[in-house]
Amino acid sequence: MALASGELRGPLSFPGQQAEILAGRLRLTPRTGRSAGKAGPRLNSFRAALSIPGETLVPDGRVLSTELRRLDQGSELGGGCTAVIDASSVSALGVRFRRPGDQFRPLGLRGSKKLQDFFVDRKVPRDRRDATPLVVDADDRIVWVAGHVIAEDFRVGPGTRDVVILKLRGEGF
């Protein structure tokens, strides 16, 4: 009650649960054996190659699919759990979760931004930050923060002929 009324600051840990105020709401989540905000070894070490076209199972049960398409008037623009990127801007794609120090250039920004700051600005709950899949290129640059935004360097532009469509399906967002 003290947390909900603002008398105490969280997060507060209880046996098997954690309570905190996120975006003005009291949130109760199952407590795991790791500290809040730090990715466990399972997520930190996960990385899978994405074949185009193809589907990849993410450890939490969601599926990330890829498809190559010629850009035309009927191509979808993306948004939410779908992203459209310039196919010529990537040679190989992979999926992983966040790591300390990750940075990228969100669509529409001139400079780069720390992924952690991006999540804070977007008010992404702490427990979802570690579980948000990141599509990366062969150089480990962030291409898409799944469910949020693509990076400026991979946007569809006037010279784009082919696009890669990325879709994230399943529970978790």
Residues 146 and 168 sit within 8 Å (Cβ to Cβ):
yes
Is residue 123 left, alpha or beta, with left meaning phi > 0 and alpha meaning psi from -120 to 50? left
Give burial (CB, 10 Å; 0-12/13-18/19+) of 113: middle
Give residue-wise pLDDT tens across range 15-56: 666 677 766 666 666 655 444 444 444 566 788 888 898 998
**Domain covering 36-169, topology:** Phenylalanyl-tRNA Synthetase; Chain B, domain 3 (3.50.40)
DSSP helix/strand/coil, 171: coil
**Whole-structure pTM value:** 0.72
Delimit the domains of the chain by residue range.
1-31, 36-169
> Which DSSP category does 117 fall into?
H
Which stretches of the chain score pLDDT less than 50? 33-41, 73, 173
